[in-house]
Amino acid sequence: MINQNRQAFLDTLAASEIGAALLAKSDNGYNVIVGSTPSHPNLFKSYADHPRVLVKISSLGLKSSAAGRYQILARYYDAYKNQLGLPDFSPASQDKIALQLIKECHALEDIDAGHIEHALMLCASRWASLPNAGYGQRENKLVDLKSCFVNAGGVATV
pLDDT tens string 20-44: 999 999 999 999 999 999 999 999 9
pLDDT the model gives residue 131: 96
pLDDT the model gives residue 58: 74
CB atoms within 10 A of CB 7: 15
| DSSP per-residue letters across 113-130 | HT-HHHHHHHHTTT-TTS
Banded pLDDT at 59 (limits 50, 70, 90): low
> Residue 17 catalytic?
yes
Give 67's strand partners. 33, 72
List 17, 104, 109, 117, catalytic entry: 17
Residue 67 to residue 44: CA distance in whole angstroms? 9
What is the overall mean pLDDT for the chain? 95
Query: 26 CB contacts (<8 Å, ≥6 apart)?
Result: 18, 32, 36, 41, 43
Q: Is the pLDDT of residue 60 over 90?
A: no
Element (H, E) at 83: helix 74-84
* Domains of the chain in sequence order: 4-151 (1.10.530.10)
